Every structure is written in structure tokens, then in C-alpha cells.
Amino acid sequence: MAPQLPGRTKVLIVGGGPVGLVVSSLLSQSGLENCVVERRAETQRAPAAHVLRRRPMEILDSIGVGDEVRTAASAVPLDFITWCVTLGGPEIGRLDLRPLDASNRRGPEPWTNCPQNVLEPILLRNASERREARVVLGAECCEIEQRDDGVVAHLRFEDGAETQIAAEWVVAADGAGSPVRRALGISMEGLGALARFHMVHFEADLEPWTRARSGPIYWLMNPEAPGGLIVHDPKRSHVFMTPDHGTENEEQGIPARLASALDVPTVPKILSIDAWSPHVQVASRYVEGRVALVGDAAHRFPPTGGLGLNTGIQEAKILAEKLVRTFAGEDPARLLAAYEAECRPAAQANANESFENMKRLAEVSQVLGEWPDRAGLEERLATLTEVEQQQLAQAIEAQRSHFLSDGVAPGPGSGSAPTLGIFAA
């Protein structure tokens, strides 16, 4: 049986991922009635986004979940980013991110490493427990009807039942493929499908090979099994990102590729394999009538730098504040225009920064050259000249901002941020 929904709400939030749930909790804190509908029947299973920077953590603190997120986050310290042939094989180099404090005391961490499959349930509980909110999973928004006095959304549930809900405003937080954005005819500007990758979520105890060089990311450069290893829990949870070559039945070979990339005496248990493509895109506009885009519905960044979710959470705070002021009697057209003016330039700047981070990673490979197999790469490493070793060290050092930059914060000053690259004026 389809869950009971109110016939009307002040704000309808389409999408119950992290950004949509943060919008809901912020509106509820201000006493504003809202309803969240999410087409998935459960929260995110794979780790997906995992980097939370300082400003977004302050927002999570403000809705009362910051400490819970910190407790649930991975305990992996941001000590090193490591390049190696395989996890168990020769090391190519490390980027040392430890603080240069003589007392060896850490300041605030540059990020909280909380994967999305851990973060989402925390945010879901927080939003669902507030009396101002109604959160419904397994409810797909099929159509949006805009009227002068509000919006009517047509919903379909898993069992095929359909209903309608009226709202004064709609927040589209329904992800990178955003059906709501497409239904509104809002185009995406920038570059799409830069490449294609497999995201392999697996369980394994890799601590013996990560303990001495602890960090969240290992770039595995074995030409026969290249990819990036993201460590969420050294003893258990990891993600392997590897190129999708587009060959027939390629997914069947992923277990062997993963084993070759790791090259350690343990058998990983693969939990899921998903395909995805990085994009560098920002919506041509953030507002259409009574519907506002937020988070991945409004922009798609490469994951290099981890700025996508962080930008979205900051947008959520700005949008929630504008909607609250709208219901307090301020001019909605002016407020929603300000929302776009404060958020879209920051998204463009962060999309560019993510793209530059992605391109800069190739500098390490450029020093080493292309090799058809692991043996060739290892021989190349053994014969690097002193000049080439210096070039390799410089290429690795050049990645520092990739891992420490907070990006451009959405807000009144973001319009003055440089937007070099594909979004340059």
C-alpha cells in the first residue's frame, strides 16, 4: 500500500539524498512545513561521495548531526596520498599532507571522510524525526505542473499507485540526472561524459599494506589494472575506480583486474560494480518559476577534489534561508534570483577546479610515459635519472591543492570568484 501523503505542503523536496535531506532539516528548524519524496526505496548502499569540508560540516553541526557524522566517519587520517604500481608492489611516490607543526599536534582536519552510505541514514533520521517534515521513500515524481499560486506534483509509488501533492515551492534535489530539471527544459552547460569508469565497492582487510602510509587514496598505476583505491575502512570497506574500456563482457574481468591492482595475498569480496562518467556541467539556470535546483541537479563535477557534495550542502543552506524569508513576506522573485546569483558562479568555479584537478593528475603519468605492462613500468622506475626523479616529485607535489582546497563557497561574494576554464566569460 502506498504511504499516506499530505495533499498539500509548503515546500516539496524531490530527492532524498544528502542535499535534499539537509534542505528539509534546515526548513524544519525554521518551522516551515515540508515534504521529501525519494524514488529509491532505501538509502545509498555504495560509499559514493565521501569528502566533507569545513563549511559543510558547520552546516551539519547547525542541524545537530555534526558530532554523529564525525563519530561515524572513517578513522583514516589524511597523512599521505600515495602513487604505486600496485598496492603491494613498488611505490612511486607520496604526497605528504601531515601538518608542519613542531609539536606534532593537528589543527582542524581539512576534511571529514564520511562515505555517503554512512552519511545518508544519519541525515534521513534527522529529517524524519522533525514534526514539520514528512519523508517518503519509494515515491517517484513523474510530472510537475506549475501554476500561478503553486505547483502540483504527480507521484508514483513502487506498487504502481499514484497521487498528487500541491506545494507552494518545489526544490529539485533529485541528482545528476534530475528528471525534474529535464522536465523543466533546463539545459546543462559544459562538458559531458569525459570518460567512463567502473566503481567497484569491495570488502578486504588491507591494513597491512596501508598502515605505514595511511591515507584515503592510493593511485594504482599498473598498466594492466590501473585505477584509484579509496579507503573508507582499512580493515573492511574500499572502492576501486578503474577505466571502462568498453569491451564485451568487461565486467566479468573486474575481479581479476582488482586482484592485479591490489597484488596482495587476500581475496577481496566484491559488493557492487557500477558504471559512471564524470561531467563538467552547470545548469543554465537554477530557478524556473516555483522550482529551484540544488546540488547535483544543478551541477555535475568530476570527483577530483570532492567539491560536488560540499557545494551542494552549502547551496542547501542558502536556498533554505531564501525560502524561509519568502514565507516571511519578502519578495520571492528577488530572493530566488539572489539564490542563483550567489550559487551558480561558485558552481562554475568549482566545476572548473575539479576539471583542472582531473587533468593535473595526468602529469604524474606523463613523467613516466606509457608502458604496455607492469614489467615495463617497473623497469622504467628503476632507471629514472636524477632529473626525472625531480620531475616526478614535482608532478606529485603539484597535486597538493587537489586534496586541501575548499573550493569557492557559494554566497554573495562568489560572483567575483575567477571562473577560468570552460566557464570563463
307-327 vs 332-368: helix crossing angle, rounded to 10: 180
Quickly state the pLDDT bin for 104 (edges 50, 70, 90). very low
Q: Are 167 and 10 in contact (CB under 8 A)?
A: yes
In this prediction, residues 28-55 reach a mean pLDDT of 93
Q: Are 5 and 161 in contact (CB under 8 A)?
A: no
Q: Are 176 and 319 in contact (CB under 8 A)?
A: no
Rounded Cα distance, 154 and 152, in Å = 7
Q: Are 174 and 297 in contact (CB under 8 A)?
A: yes
List helix spans (H) across 129-235.
179-184, 207-210
Closest CA to 138 of 45, 16, 40: 40
- pLDDT for the residue 75: 83
pTM for the whole structure: 0.94
Question: 106 pLDDT exceeds 70?
Answer: no
Rounded Cα distance, 14 and 373, in Å = 47
pLDDT in tens, 44-74: 888 888 889 999 999 999 999 999 999 999 8
% of the chain residues with pLDDT over 70 = 95
Q: Are 8 and 165 in contact (CB under 8 A)?
A: yes
Quickly state the pLDDT bin for 231 (edges 50, 70, 90). very high
Could you give the domains of the chain?
8-70+114-191+281-354 (3.50.50.60), 75-111+196-276 (3.30.9.10)
In this prediction, residues 331-355 reach a mean pLDDT of 96
pLDDT in tens, 237-276: 999 999 999 899 999 999 999 999 999 999 999 999 999 9
- pLDDT for the residue 109: 60
Quickly state the pLDDT bin for 110 (edges 50, 70, 90). low
* Angle (nearest 5°) at CA 276 between 246 and 226: 60
pLDDT in tens, 302-311: 999 999 999 9
Quickly state the pLDDT bin for 416 (edges 50, 70, 90). low
116-128 vs 18-29: helix crossing angle, rounded to 10: 30
C-alpha cell at 348: 562554475
Closest CA to 302 of 422, 414, 179: 422
In this prediction, residues 97-103 reach a mean pLDDT of 70
